[in-house]
Amino acid sequence: MLKVSIAPDGKEYPIPTAEESEKERQLLVQITEEQRAKGRKIVAVQGLGFVGCIMATVIADATDKDGNPIYFVHGHQRASQRSYWKVPVINSGVTPVSSSDPEVPAIFHRTVVEKQNFRATSEESVYSLADIVVVDIQLDATKPAFGEAEKGYCDMTHFSEGMRMLGRNISPDCMVLVETTVPPGTCEQVVKPIMEEEFTKRGIDIEKNPPLIAHSYERVMPGANYVSSIRDFWRVFSGINQKSIDLCREFLTDVLNTEEFPLTQLDSTNASEMAKTMENSYRASNIALTLEWAKFAEEIGVDIFKVRDAIRMRKGTHDNLLRPSLGVGGYCLTKDPVLANWSMGALFDLEGSLDVAINSVNINDTMPLHTIDIIKRDFPELENVNVALLGVSYLENVGDTRHSPSEILVKFLQKDKAVVKAHDSYVEFWDELPEVVVEKDIAKTVKGSDVVVFGVGHKDYIELEPEKLLEMCGTKPLIVDCSNFLNDEKLNKYKELGCKVRGLGKGHI
């Protein structure tokens, strides 16, 4: 039986046979030789997910002072049934990620079709051809008990296998730039020993040719400024030796807008890795704080969002106060504090823990349960209650469902035997909850609803007029606003139309 990889839109892509793989390896060598003849350096990007695929296009789009491409980019994605589909999709010039940023499809078409200096492959032999490898493979934190992040740990197995793949293939003078968010200590204590071991197996003298390893983290925001958040933003970096640092600085200067957003070099990869995990722990703690106060505001008739706006007027110290919501999702805030906390004992053999950061994760992970508490004020028993959820991605105007708080919301609603329908403007298929159909028709989703939850701030939800929504519902549902998506005018309009209205942190309604 032919193995296939199924894309989010349902299209099937056959996984390459052994014969096709051999032809691909020969083609990779041919393409690389042709590109080197044009004076271009070769970059391989390991992992074509939400960061890797965009980073690959940014690298391919970089030009010298004469407007000529500096690099040719091979993007590598394993030939797994889950992910191989990205290879043929990218090679057709189409983005594999959904975003509201118009630059995403434009830069894919420009680099793949017009410039023809970005191409995807599933063959690991591509790493033997590279001058630089950019690592953007997934490394997650495992939280074995819901709401108990202190028990979380990092399984380095797949990441280590990826590093071992590089050690088996790369040339000794190839720089490996780790962009994956990793626990502090990873480059020094995981990547370096693996590379040294694999180099030694190949007969490479690691005293004369030590591995070249650098770390730099992006601050990607996959929304309206998706591409720009990678290219036009400040970067922190370091390397395990001076040559790694120098090569990394040169590369990042080539591909990023460092004139407007200068690079920040730290003393070690430990410091660079800590910077990323601490940065996101700070944001996670900020959000957790606002949830506690949002609950307080609900009880005493206060709008926490107006309070927040008043506080944020104090520029320079308080203007970065974040907002409470349905919950915290995505690939960073949900796991980075856990990675750092785990590394203290696992990589550095230290006592203690990062208590504030871990407690914040626990608050944020369980935040969706508060929305259920809000619903239960009007529907104490949720069995057979029809709930329409608007938004299953973790962030407005993107199609990323990784660690989406909507997942927790739906699971617990279903546990209480509610009937849940979900809609999302950007999500074709919900990987984490494949049994849940993500509707593309809002009217079909909300028809007959007892409750409508505004879970994510997609533009089309915010612009939806109350009269139109109720016409589609055919009922007068409870309206639940999870993060100030509806202004007071709309909330009052729902009331006038006969709906009950509630909101997280909105005690005034």
Q: Which domains does the chain have, with CATH numbers?
A: 4-270 (3.40.50.720), 288-328+367-503 (3.40.50.720)
The predicted pLDDT at position 368 comes to: 96
Q: Rounded distance, CA 210 to CA 217, Å?
A: 23
Tens of pLDDT, residues 102-142: 999 999 999 999 999 999 999 999 999 999 999 999 898 99
Q: Rounded distance, CA 363 to CA 340, Å?
A: 18
Beta bridge partners of residue 118, listed in sequence order: 73
Contacts of 180 (CB under 8 A, 6+ apart): 47, 135, 136, 137, 138, 139, 159
User: CB 160: neighbour CB atoms within 10 A?
Assistant: 16
The string of DSSP letters for 386-413 reads EEEEE--SSSTTB---TT-HHHHHHHHH
Give the torsion through C-alpha atoms of 457, 462, 467, 473, to 10 deg: -20
Mean confidence (pLDDT) of the chain = 95
Which two structure tokens, joined as six digits, stand for 415?
Answer: 């546990």
Phi, psi angles (nearest 5°) of residue 121? -150, 160
The predicted pLDDT at position 397 comes to: 84
The predicted pLDDT at position 276 comes to: 97
E strands, 130-279, are 132-135, 141-142, 153-154, 175-178, 212-217, 236-239, 264-265
Q: Rounded distance, CA 169 to CA 129, Å?
A: 9
The three-class DSSP label of residue 29 is helix
Is the CB of residue 379 less than 8 Å from the CB of residue 503?
Answer: no
Q: How many CA atoms lie within 13 A of 262 on its CB side?
A: 2
The predicted pLDDT at position 280 comes to: 95
Tens of pLDDT, residues 436-469: 999 999 999 999 999 999 999 999 999 999 999 9
The string of DSSP letters for 281-342 reads HHHHHHHHHHHHHHHHHHHHT-BHHHHHHHHHTSTTTTTT-----S---SSSTTTHHHHHHH
For the chain, how long is the longest CA-to-CA vector? 78
Q: Rounded distance, CA 391 to CA 436, Å?
A: 13
Number of H helices, E strands in the chain: 19, 18
User: CB 53: neighbour CB atoms within 10 A?
Assistant: 24
Q: Rounded distance, CA 462 to CA 447, Å?
A: 19
**C-alpha distance from residue 341 to each of 329, 338, 358 (Å):** 19, 5, 8
Q: Report the residue count for the chain.
A: 509
Residue in the block written with tokens 């589909």: 85
- Give the containing element (helix H, strand E) for 86: helix 86-91
The predicted pLDDT at position 91 comes to: 97
The predicted pLDDT at position 2 comes to: 65
The predicted pLDDT at position 9 comes to: 85
Which two structure tokens, joined as six digits, stand for 189?
Answer: 């204590």
The predicted pLDDT at position 332 comes to: 86
Average pLDDT along the chain, 509 residues, taken 10 residues at a time:
83 95 98 97 96 97 95 97 95 90 96 97 98 95 94 96 97 97 98 98 97 95 89 97 98 98 98 97 96 96 97 95 91 92 97 96 95 97 98 89 94 97 92 92 97 96 96 98 95 97 95
Q: Rounded distance, CA 42 to CA 242, Å?
A: 22
Q: Sign of the CA dihedral 336, 338, 344, 347?
A: negative
Is the CB of residue 176 less than 8 Å from the CB of residue 135?
Answer: yes
The predicted pLDDT at position 447 comes to: 97
Chain-centre distance for alpha carbon 315: 29
